[in-house]
Structure 1
Amino acid sequence: AGWARKLKMWGFISYLNSPELVASFQRCCGLVPRETCSYGSRNGLVHSNGSGKDVPVTIHRRKAEQVLDAFLCVQEHPGPHYEVRNWLFYFLFLTSATLGHEVFYITFLPCIHWNLDPFLCRRLVNVWVVMYIGQVMKDILKLPRPPSPPVVKLETRVDAEYGMPSTHAMAATAISFTLLLSAQERVKFPFELGLIVAVVLSALVCLSRLYTGMHSALDVICGVVISAVIMAVSYPYWGTIDYLQLHNPLSPVVGVVLPLFLSYKYPELDHYSTTRGDTTVILACCSGCSVGYWVNERLGLTFDLAGPFPVTLPPLTLVALGLGVVRFLVGLGMLVLTRQTVRWASLRVLCRINGASVSDVEARRRKEIEVPYKFSTYVAIGLVNSILVNRVYVMMGLWDLGNSV
Structure 2
Amino acid sequence: MHEYPVGWGAALAVAWCTLICVSRIYLGMHSVLDIFAGLLMASGLLVLLVPLVDQLDAWLVTHALSPAVVLAVSVLVIVYHPNADKGDTTMIVSVCAGILTGSWTNYQLGHMTAAPLPPPYEIIWPSIEMLGLTILRTILGFCGVIATRAIGKSVSYAFVCALLGKDKNELRNSEDSLDNKNKIIVELCYKYFTCGMIGFNTTYVFPTVFDLLKINRPTYYTEI
| TM-score, length-scaled by structure 1 | 0.49
Question: What does residue 60 of structure 1 align with?
Answer: none
1:336 aligns with 2:150: no
1:290 aligns with 2:105: no
Question: What does residue 244 of structure 1 align with?
Answer: 59
Specify which structure has the higher proportion of helix. Answer: 2
Question: What does residue 173 of structure 2 align with?
Answer: 360
Q: 2: distance between equivalents of 1:211 and 1:402?
A: 38
* CA deviation map 1:27-72 (0-9, x unaligned): xxxxxxxxxxxxxxxxxxxxxxxxxxxxxxxxxxxxxxxxxxxxxx
Question: What does residue 7 of structure 2 align with?
Answer: 192
C-alpha contact 1:339 1:377 (8 A) present in aligned 2: yes
Task: Tell me which amino acid in the other structure corresponds to 1:211.
Answer: Y
Task: Tell me which amino acid in the other structure corresponds to 1:204.
Answer: L
Shift of 1:233: 1.1
Shift of 1:285: 1.0
1:4-403 correspondence to structure 2 within 5 Å = 185=1, 187-267=2-82, 269=84, 273=85, 276-302=86-112, 307-354=117-164, 355-358=166-169, 359-360=172-173, 362=176, 366-399=183-216, 401=218
Change (3 A) 1:288 1:395: same
Change (3 A) 1:318 1:256: same
Higher normalized contact order (CA 8 Å, seq sep 6+, divided by chain length) = 2
C-alpha contact 1:288 1:381 (8 A) present in aligned 2: yes
Alignment length (residue pairs): 214
Shift of 1:304: 6.6
Q: 2: distance between equivalents of 1:277 and 1:213?
A: 18
Shift of 1:372: 1.4
SS in 1 for 2:4: coil
Shift of 1:259: 0.7
Task: Tell me which amino acid in the other structure corresponds to 1:379.
Answer: G
CA RMSD of aligned residues (A): 2.3
SS in 2 for 1:366: helix
* Structure 2 gap ranges (5+): none
Shift of 1:349: 1.7
Change (3 A) 1:318 1:365: farther
Task: Tell me which amino acid in the other structure corresponds to 1:224.
Answer: L
Change (3 A) 1:402 1:285: closer
* Structure 1 gap ranges (5+): 1-184
Greater C-alpha Rg: 1
C-alpha contact 2:60 2:66 (8 A) present in aligned 1: yes
* CA deviation map 1:222-258 (0-9, x unaligned): 1111111111111111111012112222111101122
